[in-house]
Structure 1
Amino acid sequence: MNHVAPKFSPAFRLAIAAMFSALMLPQTVLAGCSDSPEAAMDWTGCSKERLMLNGKDMTAGVFENAFLSGTGFDGALMAGANLERSELVRSSFVGADLTGADLEKSLASRSNFSQAKLRDATLVKAEFLRVSFAGADLTNADLSGGDFYRNDFSNAQLSGANMHDAIMPRTVFTGATMTGANLAGAFLLRTHFENVDLSGVTGLEQEQLNEACGDAQTILPAGLTVPKDWPCADE
């Protein structure tokens, strides 16, 4: 008796092939949203909102495109972490180590990075609204092209920071250290530089300064003059 082999449609064959291909992929290719927080973890695209991860060691972790709003990272170890395009609304990173972390195009609102370590971090084209970096270390950090409306950088370390073309209206830099910071093209409408030594910054133009706010303790770069309406009137 002759047996006739069953005939499968091309679509069915493609589905079977795709299933076997997925089964043969190394496990490390897939993000482990159920994985515990640990060094070199991968939460790419995962929803991890309103968690308490304070003090956790997540060094070099991957959080790209992750939803992390309302989550606590206070004191966490996250050096070299990838937070590109992550959502960080009302998240807290107080005292966290984010040295060399990548936050390019990340989104944050009313989040807290006070006293955090962000040396050499990347915040290119980040969109941060009313975020606190008070007392944080952003030495050599790259904030170019970012939107930092009403952020608080008071007493922050910003030596060598790149703020080229950053949008920073009504942001506060009072008491910050800014030696070698690049302010070329930055939008500084009502930005506060009270008690800041700006003599070592680069790229700052008189037109930018005229829109900003300062006081008698603000030290200007050579060639620039104090605007006639300093200090700014309260609004």
Structure 2
Amino acid sequence: MRSWRGQNAGSSARSCFAAIGEAAAAGLSGLALVVAILLASGAHDRVQAADCGDVARPGLNWSECSKTNIMLQGSDLHGANLAGVHFDSTDLSNANLTLANLEKATLVRTWLKNARAEAANFSRIEAYRSDFTNILATGARFVSAELQRAEFGGAQLANADFQKAELGRADFEKAVLTGVNFSLANLSRATLSGATIKGPVAFDGAFMFLTRIEGLDLSAATGLTQQQISLACGDKSTVLPAGLKMPEGWPCPPDDKD
């Protein structure tokens, strides 16, 4: 029986010859035939690019691979291509994901506690109820990520980008949020109280229905409007940007965690 690689190579070769045959049948010129060969060869290279059987190591390519419900804690995946990988219920605690590309990956109920992920790309991931507790993700990108009920307690997120992210009921208690971009993010019922903010944070267009901001110093925040503040939940210790005032409805009642 041929190996997967052999079967795949044979299939790709047949595709290559089929493309050449079609080009020849269409009466294409010699130059067009060469282009067809190169394109077919390039498609074969792309198929071979991801090695799902490779062991965890820096710079590997697991794009679109299935790595669900396995133990990868402490793995060194520095600079790895993990785009579209399936990490659902996988333990990535203490892993090194620095500069890794996880765009469109699924990490539902995944553990990334104490992981390193400086400048990693988490854009458009699905990570419902995932644990990012104490993650070091300075400068990481979470653009358009699905992060409902995710735990970011104690996370180092300075200069992280959460534009357009879904963060309903996400918990950022004791996280470092200085320089974070929450523009157009959904922060409904998210907990920012207890986070460390020592500089600007962008809230332009963010949806802040019952967002917990008790005790936060938001004096340097940008993009906040009175309408957002009126929807959010603060208290007398919340410091607002100049021109905004504490709503009469503050403080809000305790949130129903269910």
Higher mean alpha-carbon deviation, 146-155 vs 27-36, is at 27-36
AA of the residue aligned to 2:245 = T
Higher mean alpha-carbon deviation, 20-29 vs 194-203, is at 20-29
Q: Specify the alignment match of 1:60 in structure 2.
A: 79
1:218 aligns with 2:222: no
- Compared CA separation, residues 12 and 191, structure 1 to 2 (3 A): closer
Alignment of 1:35-184 (within 5 A): 35-178=54-197, 179-184=199-204
- Compared CA separation, residues 71 and 13, structure 1 to 2 (3 A): closer
CA contact (8 A) 2:16 2:37 kept: no
Which string of whole-angstrom CA distances, capped at 9 and with x for unpartnered residues, describes residues 136-194 of structure 1? 01111110011111100111111111111111100000111232110111000000011
Question: Matched residue of 2:229: which SS?
Answer: helix
Please provide the CA RMSD for this pair.
2.4
Supply the distance in 2 between the matched residues of 1:49 and 1:126 (Cα, whole angstroms).
19
- Compared CA separation, residues 16 and 140, structure 1 to 2 (3 A): same
Q: Specify the alignment match of 1:3 in structure 2.
A: none
- Compared CA separation, residues 15 and 184, structure 1 to 2 (3 A): closer
CA contact (8 A) 2:80 2:99 kept: yes
Give the TM-score, by structure 2 length. Answer: 0.81
Supply the distance in 1 between the matched residues of 2:218 and 2:196 (Cα, whole angstroms).
9
Supply the distance in 2 between the matched residues of 1:171 and 1:45 (Cα, whole angstroms).
30
Q: Specify the alignment match of 1:194 in structure 2.
A: 214
Q: Specify the alignment match of 2:223 in structure 1.
A: 203
Give the TM-score, by structure 1 length. Answer: 0.89
Supply the distance in 1 between the matched residues of 2:224 and 2:42 (Cα, whole angstroms).
56
Supply the distance in 2 between the matched residues of 1:13 and 1:166 (Cα, whole angstroms).
49
Structure 1 ranges of 4+ moved more than 3 A: 15-29
Which string of whole-angstrom CA distances, capped at 9 and with x for unpartnered residues, describes residues 4-46 of structure 1? xxxxxxx995168799955996699510100000000110000
Show structure 1 runs of 5+ residues with no match.
Answer: 1-10
CA contact (8 A) 2:209 2:231 kept: yes
AA of the residue aligned to 1:14 = A
Q: Specify the alignment match of 1:185 in structure 2.
A: 205
Higher helix proportion (structure 1 or 2): 2
CA contact (8 A) 2:16 2:41 kept: no
Deviation at 1:222, TM superposition (A): 1.2
Identity value in percent = 36
- Compared CA separation, residues 114 and 25, structure 1 to 2 (3 A): same
Show structure 2 runs of 5+ residues with no match.
Answer: 1-14, 22-35
- Compared CA separation, residues 13 and 63, structure 1 to 2 (3 A): closer
Supply the distance in 2 between the matched residues of 1:180 and 1:207 (Cα, whole angstroms).
19
